Structure 1
């Protein structure tokens, strides 16, 4: 029995789909204030896994056309591989969590590892959509197929990115610089009690002279359910400490009566603008999104 050989046109289709899927993965690798993924090894791991995912999506249609159904099993194996990568990423982040200025926490680590896995599916789905579209059009003019495939892949990427975009702390709360006060061994930020661990003269002088504080005020009462979550507050503290560094102290405390959250640190880099911006840009963790109605931002209510 003569095996059907993949044509030159199909090879072009596969190549185009792989490129589109890989670009989708590259566009999701953003070196932001969170410094994740790290450079350069984190970039390399993300890029290679994205190319593999794009390749899996690109060969699905040609495999059906050539009746090479055994190749479809690689898709299942690839998905399992991405899950294994998520587990490894979670273990890796947990291993280094004790070395950070403040811990990310299990909730934040779980969200990061899921995002890591989901971005590979971005590449796979964009590549698959691009390939299916080009084969469906199947125009004798090769550039027509490529252009239509690229458009379909781009639309798929935009839809997926829109769908996966989450909220930030700034969507749910106002953040402002708070006044630091030291009363005996107690630390207050805008009259919100934070800690009573400042028992020495040196610690009190350091916090009073170099400390910086902020107050997070929920925009709606039910946003307290999200912001009061311990994992969410831990993520906020981690992001601030990671961006500004910590010279000596870092504290975060919620005020039970009002729902306000006070944060105070003695940073290495004292930048109030970066301090507030980091808090606002901290992502809302997936495990605290219990009810979509509770996560509606004020803009979405209008």
Structure 2
């Protein structure tokens, strides 16, 4: 076989393995079904093929390959729109919704992973062609798969904030977690249920940047969704008083959380909250902004 054939074969295999490495079914419940996984793996195979074929095409001065890459980018953007639409429809059936920020983050990740597959296949194919060494491409492929595993996860909440349990208390009809006001609970039956089944959590940001990230409504909704998705939620439709809730202490930047898991286990609640991903759309870094010169 020619060196181009080897480059394309190894590049496609490496890119496809990168997509498999990046495909993970987890607590977000998506994609759990087989057909959803097949869709993403098929798109990953196509992306790997585009990245691997691009190198021989460009070296042979067949510049129409660039056109195919541009068309692929447009198609993968449609994948992002598809994921956004699908998750938005599924979100309406959840007792605790993900929220628009969480959905947009998931959709953006699915699009970006296809570009990562193209880049991995391109680098592997380029290595094989330029070095004329098949094993060199294989080594680059293993490196790409390893790096993909690292890129699969971002920051967690425990890296930007301290998470601790906090007591719930009722002051008449007013519900507090520690000293943070949550809401007014009118019915005594609901107050008793919340005190019996609820778990209070206080999240304290580590600096000003983290405080602004925690104040983002999308980030706070992601916390409520993750806890409810993993530990369940003690509520049904038509019971607004039993919905998990977050409130911001505007003086100190702390966030008070009320969750109502199916099985009341405060230690598990803390572990889950600490592992909530930090949404890219929620990150704010005003202290790193350079001062404007007058």
TM-score normalised by the chain length of structure 2 = 0.87
1:213 to 1:42, Cα distance in 2 relative to 1, 3 A: farther
Q: 2:140 matched to which residue of 1? A: 152
**Which of residues 244, 266, 269 is equivalent to 2:231?**
244
How far off its partner does 1:217 sit?
Answer: 0.8
Q: 2:247 matched to which residue of 1? A: 253
How far off its partner does 1:24 sit?
Answer: 0.7
Superposed CA deviations along residues 73-100 of structure 1, whole A, max 9, x for unmatched, are 2221111100011011111111222211
| Deviates further, 228-237 or 65-74 | 65-74
CA contact (8 A) 1:25 1:47 kept: yes
Give the whole-Å Cα distance in 1 for the aligned partners of 2:282 and 2:151.
Answer: 18
**Mapped pair 1:268 → 2:243:** no
Q: 1:195 matched to which residue of 2? A: 183
CA contact (8 A) 1:223 1:294 kept: no
**Mapped pair 1:216 → 2:210:** no
Q: How does 1:1-302 map to 2 (within 5 A)?
A: 7-138=1-132, 145-156=133-144, 158=146, 166-196=154-184, 198-248=185-235, 249=242, 250-291=244-285
Superposed CA deviations along residues 224-249 of structure 1, whole A, max 9, x for unmatched, are 11111112111111211222221122
Give the whole-Å Cα distance in 2 for the aligned partners of 1:222 and 1:70.
Answer: 46
Superposed CA deviations along residues 252-276 of structure 1, whole A, max 9, x for unmatched, are 1111122111111222133333322
Give the whole-Å Cα distance in 2 for the aligned partners of 1:51 and 1:137.
Answer: 25
SS class of match (1:187): strand
CA contact (8 A) 1:63 1:72 kept: no
How far off its partner does 1:201 sit?
Answer: 2.0
Gaps of 5+ in 2: 236-241, 290-294
TM-score normalised by the chain length of structure 1 = 0.85
CA contact (8 A) 2:210 2:284 kept: no
Q: 2:239 matched to which residue of 1? A: none
SS class of match (2:256): strand
Give the whole-Å Cα distance in 2 for the aligned partners of 1:102 and 1:170.
Answer: 22
Give the whole-Å Cα distance in 2 for the aligned partners of 1:291 and 1:188.
Answer: 30
CA contact (8 A) 1:180 1:208 kept: yes
Aligned length: 282
Gaps of 5+ in 1: 1-6, 139-144, 296-302
